[in-house]
A and B are shown apart, each in its own frame.
Chain A
Amino acid sequence: MANLTAEQVNGLADNFSAMAETVGEFRYKNYENLSASQNQQIKDLQATILDVADRLYTLSAVLVMEDIETSLATIDNITNEIKETYKTLLDFQKAINVAGAVVTLGSSILSGKPASIVQSIDSLVKIWNA
């Protein structure tokens, strides 16, 4: 089992599912000709095959992890790079905003009004931390 891939296990699960369906159809069509005990036996057999198929579908979903390791790492790297580029481009706007706030602060200092200076510093800090 260790060598089977997720897709192969999924294929096996499909086969078991089809097998269970065939067993079930046989029972429904021949119900009247089967004894109660035969009916129960076939019903139990179908239930067992269904359980095996169910476990195989789950196993296939888990085995996917082994097939995606490399792809997952590559996409994660690319996504991180995209985020970095996006952040760099956003930083241009921040730089412009900071420049505006710095100019306003310089102008306030030159005007010599303490209230205006305090307000400009506040504004600069807010923009810097944004």
Chain B
Amino acid sequence: MVRLIHKAGIAIVLLIIGLSSCVNLKYINSYSSASLKSIQGFETINYSFKQCCLDNCQDKKINNLNLEAEDCDCKMDEKADSVTLILYNAVKGYFDGLNNLSGNELTNYKTDGLTKALNEGNFGSIKIDKQHVDAYSNVSKILLRAFTDEYRKHQLKVYVREANEPLKVLIKFLDLNISGNLAGKLTLQKQRIRSYYFDLTKNLLLSPFEKRRAVQDYFQQLGEIEARQKELQTYSKALKIIAEGHQKLSDNIDHFSTAEIKGLLFQYACDIRDVKTEFDKIKK
């Protein structure tokens, strides 16, 4: 009887360890998964420093009625794009790792193959009881999961703490390049087209119909530029929430089993998803 109670006790403890370790990382995984998807929105931004340079160069040629096939010098803008890409890849790489490491499936080890081999195998004079194989297999699965989950939690704490400051810097500069520099260049484009179309509306050689067409073209181009700016600003909004969420995660990494932190991280994941939906809507 005592032996039975002892066994049941061990089983309950193992079950608790197994369940608790599995649940604790769920909120980190939810936050990192939402962050990763949102960050990857960068790949759908169909605009770059180089494209902006080419557009300006082409506009100048059109305005000056220049048909010379002279190449536009956009080397510096290409470099700006590569710096932005480096930043993006570093941030994405980190969240990809965080997402993988906090995934519940990672330590959900499957022992079916080994159990089947032990149950069905022919080991000569050695007879293995199916009941024992299944029991040991279940216990080892729980133990393995408990130990590996503890290891994961420990490692995640170290990584999140160490990554917080450099990640903040990288996200800040990724944001600077996207919502500061690239969006800034788009503001300049808005000024350029206004100046160009303003002169067209004042041109005495054009008919009222041609002027109306010019105004129509102006508003169409303005709308396209503003849609691009909105896209960049929405991406920037997501970056800010992601950085803020990581700061909270880092500040509370020792208490991430408390309901308050879980709720906070869950809220960040929801906010990031909302901004991603907003971003996707602009893309459509």
* 64-104 of chain A: CB within 8 A of chain B: 64-65, 67-68, 70-72, 74-76, 78-79, 81-83, 85-86, 89-90, 92-93, 96-97, 99-101, 103-104
**0 or 1 for each of B68-87: is its CB under 8 Å from A? (1 = yes):** 00000000110110011011
A128 at the interface (CB under 8 A from B): no
B202 at the interface (CB under 8 A from A): yes
- Distance in angstroms from B78 CB to nearest chain A CB is 10
Q: Is the interface of B mostly helix, strand, loop or mixed?
A: helix
B202 lies within 8 A of A31 (CB): yes
A residues within 8 A CB of B144? 92
A residues within 8 A CB of B117? 100-101, 103-104, 107
- On whether A85 and B170 interact (CB within 8 A), knowing A17-B187, A58-B77, A64-B87, the answer reads no
B208 at the interface (CB under 8 A from A): no
- On whether A62 and B195 interact (CB within 8 A), knowing A10-B184, A75-B167, A79-B93, the answer reads no
Q: Is the interface of A mostly helix, strand, loop or mixed?
A: helix
Chain B contact-residue range equals: 35 or more
A92 lies within 8 A of B109 (CB): yes
Binding site for A on B (CB under 8 A): 49, 53, 56, 76-77, 79-80, 83-84, 86-87, 90-91, 93-94, 96-98, 100-101, 106-107, 109-111, 113-118, 120-124, 144, 148, 151-152, 155, 159, 162-163, 165-167, 169-170, 173, 176-177, 180-182, 184-185, 187-188, 191-192, 194-195, 198-199, 202
Question: What 6 pairs across the A-B complex have the smallest Cβ distances?
Answer: A107-B121, A82-B97, A100-B113, A71-B166, A61-B80, A100-B114
Binding site for B on A (CB under 8 A): 6-7, 10, 13-14, 17, 20-21, 24, 27-28, 31, 43, 46-47, 50, 53-55, 57-62, 64-65, 67-68, 70-72, 74-76, 78-79, 81-83, 85-86, 89-90, 92-93, 96-97, 99-101, 103-104, 106-107, 110-111
Task: Name 13 extra pairs, CB < 8 A, besides A58-B77, A58-B185.
Answer: A20-B191, A53-B188, A57-B181, A58-B76, A61-B176, A62-B76, A68-B87, A75-B163, A75-B170, A81-B159, A89-B101, A106-B123, A107-B121
